């Protein structure tokens, strides 16, 4: 049962990481004028990605130092999520090896 919960959490972490990467790629496309926010689909996608990630990234942005134009909070989020996943998997393995 515990293994199933850890695997479900791992899938959720992978989904969140995929959304973070999609937001990063879309922000680059917008920044380099490959796509425009005047396009309704792009604007809707951008708003949806920000609505999903802003509640998670906002507290990280408050903690991290100001680096100017570069936002390292998505990278910190990915690092934290994968760290949690590794810790949970190790705790599971250690609980059955003892």
Within 8 A by CB and 6+ apart from 46, the residues are 26, 30, 37
Position 67 scores a pLDDT of: 87
98 pLDDT above the threshold of 70: no
Tell me the whole-structure pTM to 2 decimals. Answer: 0.88
| Torsion sign, CA atoms 47, 49, 52, 55 | negative
36-92 pLDDT per residue, tens: 999 999 999 999 999 999 999 999 999 999 888 888 999 999 999 999 999 999 998
Which bin fits 66, alpha (ψ -120 to 50), beta or left (φ > 0)? beta
Q: pLDDT tens for residues 88-97? A: 999 988 887 7
* Percent of the chain scoring above 70 in pLDDT: 99
């Amino acid at each position: 049962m515990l293994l199933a919960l850890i695997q479900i959490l791992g899938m959720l972490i992978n989904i969140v990481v995929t959304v973070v990467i999609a937001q990063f790629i879309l922000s680059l496309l917008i920044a380099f004028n490959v796509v425009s926010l005047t396009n309704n689909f792009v604007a809707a996608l951008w708003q949806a990605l920000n609505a999903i990630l802003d509640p998670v990234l906002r507290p990280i942005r408050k903690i991290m130092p100001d680096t100017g134009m570069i936002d390292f909070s998505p990278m910190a989020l990915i690092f934290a999520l994968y760290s949690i996943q590794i810790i949970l998997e190790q705790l599971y393995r250690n609980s059955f090896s003892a």
